[in-house]
Amino acid sequence: MLHGIDNPNFRYMDTLSKAFAEKGQYDIILANPPFKGSIDKSDINERFTLKTTKTELLFIELMNSLLVTGGRCGVIVPDGVLFGTSNAHVDLRKILVDKCKLEGVISMPSGVFKPYAGVSTAVLIFQKGGTTDNLPASEGQSGQAGVWFYDMVADGFSLDDKRQKIAENDIPDIVKQWQQRNNSHPERQSKGVMRKAAEPTIGYTGHASTSPDKSSRDALSVTSNGRAGKCFLVPADEIRANKYDLSVSRYKQIEHVEVEYENPDVIMHKVSVLEKEIGHNIDEIRLLLR
């Protein structure tokens, strides 16, 4: 009704149950499924390969099943999906990296869904079919090199229950950087030449990952110095080596700022001077009270 669709295709059904039979029908899926739910084990659809009753994991496998080959999905998930250590969590991330083309992980701060939920969340963007690439991509190869990460700090509203509008908002920059993700990242550099890759078409399924050659290793060394900003690319093999961890903190470079402290004797002298001033002020107040 909100979008003027007179006859929408709405059906009331548990899509994780055995009664739901749709498969391979959709080009694009946008979803914000329920967090931290569980389903009756006896009613779980037999299509699922994940051995779990956690709905936040099953929904993602379901979306992959519902897409046509080359179809794309953008889904909001709780942070635990990115780094959970259970077999089901790891197996799901293996599906995203090895059996899909995982394109992006946008980490969102806790509070973006307040006052309803305060959990930290992330957006996963993936394409069904192919595998996630290493980098750099071959000359003339269309598609994205590695997984694009963005560390969102603000969404234009305060992160408390009031959710009041504020000036800080990363969303316009996320859209801008996403559109430019293949053009200017240091991972695209090889032998001093910047290569510009074309955007993938909807039917692109990627190519099988191979061991990085010398130029790839050179590019990876550049990568380690280019992750201090809000967004960066990470090669698939590095994600595999980190047990398929998709949390942005795992790969983001932390900038350490050296802090100089005063000599302890100087600090103690300042404390002593302050105490004398406080005592003097108290004496003046006592005189006024008399």
Give the domain ranges of the chain: 26-251, 260-290
80-89, 115-124, 206-215, 276-285: least confident range: 206-215
More confident residue, 54 or 9: 54
What pLDDT digit, counting tens, does each position of 209-262 carry? Answer: 333 343 333 333 333 347 888 999 999 999 999 999 999 999 998 777 788 888
* Portion of the chain with pLDDT greater than 90, in percent: 61
Q: Residues 82, 57: contact at Cβ < 8 Å? A: no
As given in the structure block, the two tokens for residue 65 are 């099943």
pLDDT at 248: 94
Binned at pLDDT 50, 70 and 90, residue 281 comes out as very high
Q: Is the pLDDT of residue 199 over 90?
A: no
35-39, 57-61, 286-290: least confident range: 35-39
Q: Is the pLDDT of residue 145 over 60?
A: yes
Binned at pLDDT 50, 70 and 90, residue 178 comes out as very high
Q: Residues 207, 200: contact at Cβ < 8 Å? A: no
Q: Residues 155, 106: contact at Cβ < 8 Å? A: no
Q: Residues 150, 185: contact at Cβ < 8 Å? A: no
Q: Residues 142, 200: contact at Cβ < 8 Å? A: yes
Q: Residues 107, 150: contact at Cβ < 8 Å? A: yes
What pLDDT digit, counting tens, does each position of 77-89 carry? Answer: 999 999 999 999 9
As given in the structure block, the two tokens for residue 80 are 């635990």
pLDDT at 25: 93
Q: Is the pLDDT of residue 138 over 90?
A: no
Residue with tokens 């953008």: 74
As given in the structure block, the two tokens for residue 11 are 């059906």
pLDDT at 204: 23
Q: Is the pLDDT of residue 156 over 50?
A: yes
Residue with tokens 């316009």: 172
Binned at pLDDT 50, 70 and 90, residue 134 comes out as confident
Cβ neighbours of 120 (radius 10 Å): 17
Q: Residues 89, 247: contact at Cβ < 8 Å? A: no
Cβ neighbours of 105 (radius 10 Å): 24
Residue with tokens 């930290």: 120
Q: What angle do CA 26, 20, 15 make, to 5 degrees?
A: 75
CATH superfamily of 26-251: Vaccinia Virus protein VP39 (3.40.50.150)
The dihedral formed by the CA atoms of 78, 82, 83 and 89, expressed in degrees to the nearest 10? 90
258, with CB counted inside 10 A (0-12, 13-18, 19+), is exposed
